[in-house]
Structure 1
Amino acid sequence: MSSTRQVPETSSMSRDELSADDAWQALRHHGGWTLVREAFLRFRYGDGFSHARALGLQLCLAIVPFLIALSGLAGKLGVKEGGDVVADTVLALTPGASEQVVHDLLAPGDRGEDAGELALALGLITGLLALATAMAQIERGANRIYGVERDRPAHLKYARAAILAAVAGIPALTGFLMLVAGDAMGASVRTRYPGWGDTVESIWTVARWPASILLVVTAVAAIFRFAPRRRQPAFSWLLFGAALSTALWWGISALLALYVQGSGAFGATYGALTGIMALLLWANATGIVLFLGIAFSAQLEAYRVGVPGPIKPDTWAPPVPADR
Structure 2
Amino acid sequence: MSSVRVVPETELMSGEELSADDAWHTVRRYGLGHLLATAFVRFRYGDGFSHARAFALQLALAAVPLVIAGAGLASALGVESFAEVVARTVVAISPGSSDSLLSEVLDGRPDEGSERAEVVVVLGLATAFAAATSAFAQLERGANRIYGTKRDRQALRKYGRAAVLTATAGVAMAFGLLLIVAGEPFGEAMEQVYHWGDGAEEVWDALRWPIGLAALVVAVTLLFRHAPRRRQPGLSWLAVGAAVTVLAWLAGSGLLALYVVAAAGFDDTYGPLTAVMALLLWANVTGIALLAGLALAAQLEAVRAGRPDPLLPDSDDDGIPDELDEHPGSPAR
Give the secondary-structure state (helix, strand or coil) at the position aligned to 1:52.
helix
Q: CA deviation at 1:222?
A: 0.6
Change (3 A) 1:22 1:13: same
- Superposed CA deviations along residues 266-315 of structure 1, whole A, max 9, x for unmatched, are 00111111111111111111111110000000000111111141110125
Once the two structures are TM-superposed, the CA of residue 70 in structure 1 deviates from its matched residue by 0.8
Structure 1 runs not aligned, ≥5 long: none
CA distance in 2, matches of 1:288, 1:233: 22
Q: Per-residue deviation at 1:78?
A: 1.4
- Stretch of structure 1 that moved more, 288-297 or 235-244: 235-244
Comparing 35-44 and 76-85, the one that deviates more: 76-85
Shift of 1:21: 2.2
SS of structure 2 residue aligned to 1:231: coil
Tell me, in whole angstroms, the C-alpha distance in 2 between the residues paired with 1:308 and 1:255: 32
1:74-89 correspondence runs (5 A): 74-89=74-89
Residues 87 and 103, structure 1, Cα contact 8 Å, conserved in 2: yes
Contact 2:61/2:128 (CA < 8 Å) preserved in 1?
yes
Report how many residues are paired.
319
The answer (yes or no) to whether the contact 1:19–1:235 under 8 Å persists in 2 is: no
1-side partners of 2:109 and 2:312: how far apart? 58
For the 8 Å contact 1:17–1:234, the answer to whether it is kept is no
Percentage of identical aligned residues: 51
Task: Give CA-to-partner distance per residue, 1:106-135, whole Å, 9 cap, x none.
Answer: 222676644532331221111000000111
Are the equivalent residues in 1 in contact too, given 2:96–2:271 (CA < 8 A)? no
Checking the alignment, whether the CA contact within 8 Å between 1:19 and 1:233 is kept in structure 2 is: no
Q: Once the 2 structures are TM-superposed, how far is the Cα of residue 98 of structure 1 from its aligned partner?
A: 1.2
Report the counterpart of residue 128 of structure 2 in structure 1.
Answer: 127
Check 1:208–1:15 CA distance in 2 against 1; reply closer, same or farther (3 A cut): farther
Q: Any residues of structure 2 matched to 1:88-107 within 5 Å, and which? A: 88-107=88-107
Per-residue deviation, residues 44-98 of structure 1 (Å, max 9, x unmatched): 1100011011001000110111111111111122112222222111111111211
CA 1:78 to 1:45, structure 2 compared with 1: closer, same or farther past 3 Å? Answer: same
Cα distance 1:267–1:95, how it changes in 2: closer, same or farther (>3 A)? same
CA displacement, residues 208-234 of structure 1 (integer Å, 9 cap, x when unaligned): 111111110110111000000000011
Q: 3-state DSSP class of the match of 1:223? A: helix
Aligned 8 A contact 2:299 2:308 in 1: no
- Asked if 1:248 corresponds to 2:248, the answer is yes
TM-score, scaled to structure 1: 0.93
Measured on the aligned residues, the alpha-carbon RMSD in Å equals 1.9
Q: Secondary structure at the match of 1:96?
A: coil
Decide whether aligned partners of structure 1 residues 17 and 58 sit closer, same or farther in structure 2, where only a CA change above 3 A counts. farther
1:65 touches 1:124 (CA, 8 Å); kept in 2? yes
| Partner Cα separation in structure 1 for residue 21 and residue 117 of structure 2 | 51
User: Is residue 117 of structure 1 aligned with residue 121 of structure 2?
Assistant: no
Question: Are 1:69 and 1:119, in contact at CA under 8 Å, matched by a contact in 2?
Answer: yes
Contact 1:38 1:310 survives alignment (8 Å): yes
CA distance in 1, matches of 2:313, 2:293: 24
- Taking the aligned partners of 1:167 and 1:263, their CA distance within structure 2 comes to 36
Q: Identify the residue that residue 146 of structure 2 maps to in structure 1.
A: 145
Stretches of structure 2 lacking an aligned partner (at least 5 in a row)? 319-325, 328-333
